[in-house]
Amino acid sequence: MTIIVTGGAGFIGSNFIFYQLKHHPEDRIVCLDNLTYAGNLSTLASVMDRPNFRFVKADICDREAVNRLFDEEKPEIIVNFAAESHVDRSIEDPGVFLRTNILGTQVLMDACRKYGIGRYHQVSTDEVYGDLPLDRPDLFFTEETPIHTSSPYSASKASADLLVLAYHRTFGLPVTISRCSNNYGPYHFPEKLIPLMIANCLNDKPLPVYGKGENVRDWLYVEDHCKAIDLIIRKGRVGEVYNIGGHNEMKNIDIVKLICKALDKPESLITYVTDRKGHDMRYAIDPTKIHNELGWLPETKFADGIKKTIQWYLDNRDWWEEIISGEYQNYYEKMYANR
């Protein structure tokens, strides 16, 4: 069968493409990505020549281009990773988040209705649930936790989720949604916490920790996320939401110190900077449903995953050095110069 993967030149989408080509070589993968600042064609270089892989550069908001692709490929499954994904950018400029994350989702689902598909899967985030207090370690996000967003990013993702569920109820579109916690691993864009700290450490640059660094995130190795989505699109129940997370909560400051230690850099590089506006305190996923229904469990322990990730950034300096030497440099100056 043919699977369209949108946003496949980004962090998780590319890892998902590698996972599919490895575990389901009988399927055809078509990547639809318009290569924003976060999309990188070099990430897909190793699969570009595969006969069962095709890359198409197009915007998910471009109805004509999306319809043309559906007409050509007659896909069975759509997995929508394409999004603006960085909270800090959404605080600077929310508009493009609403356009891509909400209207782009609508365009894709309209094409699904027009051409008919077996499954539309929306890759969402635990951030749609808002945050949890630090002094209630007994609380976790379940699929029933009310939507309660904090940033323009999370509000745009939550809006898309509501639209996906509405298309299921109103038009009978066969949809699923997954809401995952923070991912880490290879090809993670160096504006996000873990790759940014690794890159800055390697360049002996200050490590900008927001606020006191006490915010907690629930980290999952990217391949475990890909495996969960693979299970959901093939065996998950239509109309359902599945939370994905591996019970691996860590404070930001502890992650940064761990990276310093692993790279043998002094903690004096750590610089506390102005906090993010509306900064969510704690995310923590209860993954009971996906475990009970689909047998999913994370396979990579954080200690192993972070070691592999740091090694990947050491072995693939060209990949991230090219990014941080280009247009991204202007973003970095703007965001961190006077912070």
Contact residues for ligand TYD (CB under 6 A)? 87, 182, 192-193, 196, 208-210, 215, 217, 252, 276
Among ligand TYD, ligand NAD, none, residue 180 binds (CB under 5-8 Å by kind): ligand NAD
| Min dist. Cβ of residue 192 to ligand TYD (A) | 4
Residue 296 neighbours by CB under 8 Å, 6+ apart? 227, 228, 231, 244, 287, 290
143 is catalytic: no
Tokens 């070099």 sit on residue: 42
What single-letter amino acid sits at 232? Answer: I
Binds 81, which of ligand TYD, ligand NAD, none (CB < 5 to 8 A, cut-off by type)? ligand NAD
* 59 lines the binding site for ligand NAD (CB under 6 A): yes
Catalytic residue among 59, 126, 131, 230: 126
Give the C-alpha separation, 220 to 186, whole Å: 12
Is residue 53 within 8 Å of residue 17, measured between CB atoms? Answer: yes
**Active-site hit among 120, 153, 221, 313:** 153
Q: Which is nearer to ligand NAD, 84 or 280 (CB)?
A: 84
CA–CA distance, 161 with 178 (Å, rounded to integer): 9
* Residues in contact with ligand NAD, shown as a per-residue x/- string from 166 to 185 under the rule CB under 6 A: --------------x-xx--
Count of residues that bind ligand NAD according to CB under 6 A: 30
DSSP 120-140: EEEEEEGGGG--B-TT-TT--
310 is a contact residue toward ligand NAD (CB under 6 A) = no
What number of CA atoms fall less than 13 Å from residue 113's CA on the CB side? 16
By beta-carbon proximity to ligand NAD, the closer residue of 22 and 57 is 57
**Residue 131 binds which entry of ligand NAD, ligand TYD, none, CB below 5-8 Å type-dependent:** none
Residue of 3, 4, 7, 141 that binds ligand NAD (CB under 6 A)? 7
3-state percent helix, strand, coil for the chain, nearest multiple of 5: 45, 15, 35
What stretches of 211-319 adopt beta strand conformation (E)? 216-218, 220-221, 241-244, 249-251, 270-273
Q: How many CA atoms lie within 13 A of 31 on its CB side?
A: 30
* CB 309 to ligand NAD: min, Å: 13
Cα–Cα distance for residue pair 106/44, rounded to 1 Å:
26
Q: Is there a catalytic annotation at residue 127?
A: yes
Q: Binding string, 97-116, against ligand NAD, x = CB under 6 A?
A: ---x---x------------
End-to-end Cα separation, the chain, in angstroms = 49
Please report, as ranges, the residues that interact with ligand NAD according to CB under 6 A. 6-7, 9-13, 33-36, 38-39, 59-61, 81-85, 100, 104, 123, 125, 157, 180, 182-183, 189
List, by residue number, the catalytic residues: 126-127, 153
